[in-house]
Amino acid sequence: MTGQITAAQFHAADGVEDWRCLYHLVSAYFPTGTLAKGIALVGEIGQLADETQQQYLSVDLRGTGVTVSLTRRDITLARRISAAAKQLDIPADPTAVQLINITLDALASTDVLPFWRALLDYRQIGDDYLFDPSRRGPGFGLQPMDEARPQRNRMHLDIAVPHDQAEARVAAALAAGGRLVSDAHAPRWWVLADAEGNEACVATWVGRDQ
């Protein structure tokens, strides 16, 4: 099953417990402890993914762990990668994945988006989202405004977290001095603000159809 199924369909499948849907990505983190063990896992992954799958697979190798992300919700490949990690005795840590988006409130996205696309040298998905083709930088999105809000910050962070970690992340932010602006759309997203009113959203896949 390699089509762009919904996040709910992905999480309902067996054998993908290591993975979490984050907006358009599916990610898993494997703490290896050493670079050598991480290289071994990456080598196995390289043998598992065919040329087509490599187009939507990204691997971030660090000294103490490997993050694997898929831009297509490929259950079969996710299972194979988890099995390879298990054979190397590398357990996954599903709590360690997240995806950060920078979001700008705009009156006319069609006027604004081309500027940011050129400035960031990003590529476009749909009418309101930009992504780094090298998969290193955060996503950049536009959120429509009904009217200008000069007295309010128009840029905020969107942090996509595992659905089973969202409430803990919100609680931690509130305990650290933040305040809840709105939970009207939870668990799809919560709106939080720091002590000066700068906003951020904690988001999950729950409640999204895509």
pLDDT band at 2 (very low <50, low <70, confident <90, very high): very low
**Both tokens of residue 101?**
């988006």
Residue 36 CA to residue 16 CA, distance in Å, equals 25
Q: What is the CATH number of domain 7-88?
A: 3.30.1360.20
Checking if the pLDDT of 147 tops 90, the result is no
- Please tell me the distance from the alpha carbon of residue 26 to that of residue 70, in angstroms, as a whole number: 5
Domain ranges of the chain: 7-88, 101-203
Tokens describing residue 97: 């994945």
pLDDT for position 208:
84
How far apart (Å, rounded) are the C-alpha atoms in residues 58 and 136? 10
What's residue 14's pLDDT?
A: 97
Contact 30, 92 (CB under 8 A): yes
For 101-203, the fitting CATH number among 3.30.70.360, 3.90.1150.10, 3.10.180.10, 3.30.450.20 is: 3.10.180.10
pTM beyond 0.85: the answer is no
What local confidence, expressed as pLDDT, does residue 1 receive?
41
